């Protein structure tokens, strides 16, 4: 069966699919894709049967460790990773919200020391659906809809 790809094909690499359109640039930030030298292509506002619209990211010649990619679960909990080898999807992976999140997210509490001084944030995930993360420093909770990438 011949499939038309919305974003051009890669020979080897990773396709991150089912990213909420709002989260595309957050995923770019979290994975620091702006610092990559590999070919990276993006598609946004693509039609999706499940999500209405979605975003997709294709990264040539790059595979991710779970620990690295699980961070995107904070903004794209339903993202799917497709491992491409020789133009074929050889493996599909889902992302999992880690128990502990270091850096990445800003604490929602404006009076938190992490927003006043150059302190890397640390959160404990106390609920995954919806996401609730407790700040190690100020002990306040940042909720899913308040998540801002640092």
Ligand X SMILES: Nc1ncnc2c1ncn2[C@@H]1O[C@H](COP(=O)(O)OP(=O)(O)O)[C@@H](O)[C@H]1O
Q: Strand 131-135 and strand 80-85: pairing? A: unpaired
CB of 127 to another protein, least distance (A): 12
Q: Are 5 and 41 in contact (CB under 8 A)?
A: no
Nearest residue (CB) to another protein, 5 versus 119: 119
Cα–Cα distance between 142 and 54 in angstroms, integer? 25
Nearest residue (CB) to another protein, 45 versus 127: 127
List the structure tokens of 78. Answer: 């339903």
Let me know if 46 is exposed, middle or buried by CB neighbors in 10 A (0-12, 13-18, 19+): middle
Q: Which of 89, 90, 94, 126 binds ligand X (CB under 6 A)?
A: 89
The site that binds another protein (CB under 8 A) totals a number of residues, namely 16
Q: Which of 50, 117, 129, 145 binds another protein (CB under 8 A)?
A: 117
Nearest residue (CB) to another protein, 85 versus 140: 140
Nearest residue (CB) to ligand X, 28 versus 84: 84
Of 48-67, binders to ligand X (CB under 6 A) are 56, 58
CA atoms within 13 A on the CB side of 130: 8
CB pairs under 8 A, 24+ apart, for 132-136?
133/101, 133/105, 135/107, 135/109
Stretch in the footprint of another protein (CB under 8 A) among 3-11, 45-53, 57-65, 112-120: 112-120
Q: Would you tell me which residues interact with ligand X (CB under 6 A)?
A: 5, 9-10, 15, 17, 56, 58, 82, 84, 87, 89
């Amino acid at each position: 069966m011949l499939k038309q790809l919305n974003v051009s094909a890669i020979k080897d690499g990773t396709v991150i699919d089912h990213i909420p359109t709002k989260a595309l640039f957050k995923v770019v930030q979290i994975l620091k894709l702006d610092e990559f030298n590999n070919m990276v292509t993006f598609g946004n506002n693509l039609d999706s049967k499940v999500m209405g619209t979605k975003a997709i990211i294709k990264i040539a010649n790059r595979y991710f460790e779970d620990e690295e990619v699980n961070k995107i679960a904070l903004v794209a909990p339903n993202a799917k990773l497709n491992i491409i080898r020789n133009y074929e999807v050889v493996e599909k992976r889902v992302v999992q919200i880690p128990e502990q999140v270091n850096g990445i997210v800003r604490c929602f509490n404006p009076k938190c020391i992490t927003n006043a001084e150059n302190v890397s944030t640390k959160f404990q995930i106390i609920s995954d659906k919806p996401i609730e993360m407790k700040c190690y420093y100020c002990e306040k909770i940042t909720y899913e809809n308040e998540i801002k990438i640092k």
